[in-house]
Structure 1
Amino acid sequence: MAGDAILETNGLTKEFRGFVAVRNVDLRVERGTIHALIGPNGAGKTTVFNLLTKFLQPTSGRILYNGQDITRIKPADVARLGIVRSFQISAVFPHLTVLENVRVALQRPLGNSFHFWESESRLNRLNGRAEELLEDVGLSGYAGHLAVELPYGRKRALEIATTLALDPDMMLLDEPMAGMGHEDIGRIAELIRRVAAKRTILMVEHNLSVVADLSDRITVLARGEILAEGSYAEVSRDARVMEAYMGTGHA
């Protein structure tokens, strides 16, 4: 399906009281790919994510999803269209069990509110799908554990399971490997690879070895603008990219 863009931005720009955080970003994410957004600290990566998921409104420019202009719609409407974001800091209910966390997320596509007070028998109808999702992310053995008891990497896997429960066509992953040890990084990278078999992934990630291994395409941001784009082999040879990382790492 080469050439089929699921998400595009045209001239995406965001200013904060005269400071331009993102300037004229033309991003194109192909359907069914893993696309990484990288850059030094302060490059504008998180601002772009916030614009795409409508937590910020752009100063100018357009955002298209499946050819539809979503520039001015609300965050909840973006999620209903099929774009779901997983946050950098793990966002699970710490004192619910792993299974209960996924079950809560599964209520959303059914059109329900988060009915914590629903009868156990009614909520148990969601157990089968919840257990399937836990198996998909390698958490079958943790269903009865409280989320707060999980090791960090497993907690991130749970967050991905709750994101998958919303049945997105596109997942935005905000630094999915942040704070992880080597073993957890390998596990989550393999999980992302499996998840991407059926959907599109756009991720911000600082771990360049992970980006090299996982990504089909990479966009490099620096000072809010696209500096380079291409495969890892292409962008890693770009002198401007090396300068951005090595010479102006605090930009």
Structure 2
Amino acid sequence: MATIAAVAPPGANSAADITDKALVGEGLTKVFGGFAAVKDVNLSVRRGSIHALIGPNGAGKTTCFNLLTKTLTPTRGRILLDGEDISRMRTSDVARRGLVRSFQISAIFPHLTVLENVRVALQSSFGTGYQFWRSLRAVAPLNQRAEELLEQVGIQDNRDSPAAALSYGKKRALEIATTLALEPRVMLLDEPTAGMGHEDIEPITELIKRVAVGRTVLLVEHNLSVVSTLCDRITVLQHGEVLAEGSYQEVSNDQRVVEAYMGGIDE
């Protein structure tokens, strides 16, 4: 009798591999009007790790990230979350399965207080939905959990401040709190330190380390110092394809990666 391995399609993961991988992209391709922005990308994010997706401008990392986060539908290939094919699922269905993303531009309600922002996110998790007309009494049971999340990200002292009044770094911390409110198993962070001054980068980096405990994190990040501090494994894209993968030391010593970032001439 033929074994499963003998009939598995090329690139397929074994059962042992799948149990170790929280998020997998197989042969991911996205074509826009004849232009392939991402071409046959294979990416595996190990459970419990922090994995970075990096590359020079135009490398295809944002498109690849949007495929993995279900913002875009792949032209070809498939995406597995905990071994389940989610390639054609809606974003909302995938979020309920524990795959939750943040955005490069802070997605918060500027005129709500910090606490109210987190409470709105909790309403979805606790089945009350985004019903802004519900009385404060009806959503009061969520306050304790909201305050716990604010303490976890270090902005509990700002609970009653309008979100618009926060510094940029604290807005990012608030967005991470709203992401945590959805109880993610896999968090996808889009440029978490983009636009930050040096004084904000270290606190956010430490925050990501803390909230990553017990979770899997995939991030797109342009700041290589942050990547070297945070990440267990790195995938480098160039021209929509995987150029290199490995630890920070491995990819930073790869001459192809150096040339891609320093403007080496492609042959």
* 1:248 Cα deviation from its structure 2 partner: 5.7
Matching residue of 2:234: 218
In our comparison, the structure showing a higher alpha carbon Rg is 2
TM normalised by structure 2 equals 0.91
Choose the corresponding residue for 1:14, options 30, 37, 57.
30
Per-residue deviation, residues 28-52 of structure 1 (Å, max 9, x unmatched): 0000000000000111111111111
**Inter-partner Cα distance in structure 2 for 1:101 and 1:49:** 25
2:149 counterpart of 1:133: yes
Q: Deviations over 1:184-226 (max 9, x none)?
A: 1000000000011120100000000000010000000011000
2:66 is equivalent to residue 50 of structure 1: yes
Q: Give me the whole-angstrom Cα distance separating, in 1, the residues matched to 2:64 and 2:94.
A: 15
Q: Distance in 2 between matches of 1:141 and 1:130?
A: 13
Equivalent residues of 2:73, 2:87 under 8 A apart? yes
For each residue in 1:122-163, what CA deviation from the matched residue of structure 2 results, as whole angstroms up to 9, or x when unmatched? 111111000000000000100000000000000000000000
Q: What is the rounded CA distance, in whole Å, between the counterparts of 1:193 and 1:126 in structure 2?
A: 25
- Worse-superposed segment, 161-170 or 240-249: 240-249
User: Corresponding residue for 1:78?
Assistant: 94
Q: 1:89 is matched with which residue? A: 105
Counterpart amino acid of residue 124 in structure 1? A
Shift of 1:113: 1.7
Picking from 43, 51, 54, the partner of 1:38 is 54
Alignment CA distance shift 1:63-1:154 (3 Å): same
Paired with 1:96 and 1:84, the residues of 2 have a C-alpha distance of 22
CA distance in 1, matches of 2:66, 2:178: 20
Alignment of 1:238 with 2:254, yes or no, is yes
Name the residue aligned to 1:100: 116
- Identify which of 208, 213, 216 aligns with 1:200: 216
Question: SS of the counterpart of 2:226?
Answer: helix
Give 1:2 shift: 11
Deviation at 1:112, TM superposition (A): 2.2
Contact in 1 for aligned 2:19/2:82 (Cα 8 Å): no
Give the 3-state SS of the residue equivalent to 2:124 in structure 1.
coil
**Residue in structure 1 matched with residue 169 of structure 2 by the alignment:** 153
Secondary structure in structure 2 of the residue aligned to 1:177: coil
**2 CA distance for matches of 1:11 and 1:114?**
36
Q: SS state of the match for residue 221, structure 1?
A: strand
Partner of 1:117, secondary structure, is coil
| Structure 2: tracts of 5 or more residues without a match | 1-16
Please tell me whether the aligned partners of residues 18 and 83 of structure 2 are also in contact (alpha carbons under 8 angstroms): no
* Alignment root-mean-square deviation, CA: 1.4
Residue type matched to 1:219 in 2? T
* One-letter code aligned to 2:203: R
